[in-house]
Amino acid sequence: MFKLEPRPVPSKALTFASPLIALLITVLIGVGLFMALDKDPVAGLRMFFIEPLKSPYALSELSLKATPLILIGLGLAACFRANLWNIGAEGQFVMGAIFAGGVAMQATPDTGRWIVVAVLAAGMLGGMVWAGIVAALRDRFHASEILVSLMLVYVAEMLLSYLVYGPWKDPAGYNFPQTITFLEATRVPKLMTGLRMNIGLILALVAVVGFAIFLFRTYAGFQLQVGGLAPQAARYAGFSSRKALWTALLLSGGMAGLAGALDVAGPQGQLTPYVPLGYGFAAIIVAFVGRLHPVGIVFSAILMSMFFIGGELAQSRLGLPKAMTGVFQGLLLFTLLACDTFIHQRLRWANAK
């Protein structure tokens, strides 16, 4: 029988190259899927890896997808480094959108552009409130943050549906479940005329620098990571596990909430039942493919955004099912985990006793 045993010294070069190897294997499997579906594999790969990069408009749309993935991925990386499994970033994204939308709807024609700051701050607050529930239940009752955060996703989605079908429904919206269209003063400023790219991209890149400094250059970030890697050593050193718990979850919730605010105050411009876009779940893959490092998360978020856009193009131009986006995302995560497993362990034959 076969068994896995740890390698004495895992290869550093292979560890570094593991995401690239996983991407290559994903592409090869994707070619096989296209052929099995009787589609031209070259055309299919072009939809995923060429079309999202071929024009300024395509790059603008790519930035809209990558920005929330970067922000959410950064927050999740902080949680995962602290050994906290926040699986409910999607719910925190939705709550950020709800809080931001609530502020945006208070604007009047006389409201100044300053309200954009309030909209984004409200989004962060919404995400932090939702993540704070997870932290409180974990802290007070030792509840599993995996189950609590995941179940709160569905609560957030039901709350959103209640609001857009009920008290927040636009009375002039022909009975569609949506809020009023937010006034221009509340909308996130665009970076270039004629394109939808907005200042969310700048905020995401600033957040990358901020998280890199926090995680690797501050005492608080060191405490948070030690608490995740070696809880007993952290307790011996006098580090507060409660502080690490609250810090990581509130940071994660705030980033997811900010992503939700940027989405509804940017390309969407109103609240609808379709605010949940799957960014919160896709960002889990982004964080791990990026090796839980802020810079790596940028590149993995771009790759994941290409999968989102490529899936939409493959559906409209090649007649492939919409599920191809999820297939590519899942393949990337699965192959990455497989690569990491065989980099750190080796398969040996052991005689059955």
Q: DSSP characters for 141-208?
A: H---HHHHHHHHHHHHHHHHHHHHHTTT--TTSTT-S--PPPPGGGSPPBSSTTS--BTHHHHHHHHH
Which of these ranges, 139-153, 287-301, 316-330, has the smallest mean pLDDT?
Answer: 316-330
Per-residue pLDDT, averaged over 224-230, amounts to: 80
Contact 312, 325 (CB under 8 A): yes
Q: Report the predicted TM-score, pTM, of the whole model to 2 decimal places.
A: 0.94
Q: Which one is predicted more confidently, 325 or 262? A: 262
Which of these ranges, 27-41, 57-71, 170-184, 228-242, has the smallest mean pLDDT?
Answer: 228-242
Q: Is the pLDDT of residue 237 over 90?
A: no
Task: Give pLDDT, residue 203.
Answer: 97
* Cα 37 to Cα 31: distance, rounded to the nearest angstrom: 10
Task: Give pLDDT, residue 242.
Answer: 86
Per-residue pLDDT, averaged over 134-142, amounts to: 95
Q: Is the pLDDT of residue 352 over 60?
A: no
CA torsion 148→159→101→198, rounded to 10°? 50
Q: What proportion of the chain, given as a percentage, has pLDDT over 90?
A: 74
Task: Give pLDDT, residue 310.
Answer: 92
In the numeric block, the tokens 């411009």 are attached to 269
Average pLDDT, the chain: 92
Task: Give pLDDT, residue 48.
Answer: 92
Task: Give pLDDT, residue 353.
Answer: 57
Q: Is the pLDDT of residue 230 over 80?
A: no
* Residue 134 CB contacts under 8 Å (≥ 6 apart), including other chains: 86, 88, 145, 148, 149, 152, 249, 253
* Cα 262 to Cα 64: distance, rounded to the nearest angstrom: 9
HEC assignment per residue over 204-252: HHHHHHHHHHHHHHCHHHHHHHHHHHCHHHHHHCCCCHHHHHHHHHHHH
HEC assignment per residue over 76-137: HHHHHHCCCCCCCHHHHHHHHHHHHHHHHCCCCCCCCCCHHHHHHHHHHHHHHHHHHHHHHH
Which of these ranges, 69-73, 132-136, 160-164, 329-333, has the smallest mean pLDDT?
Answer: 329-333
Q: What is the pLDDT of residues 211-223, one digit of tens each?
A: 999 999 999 899 8
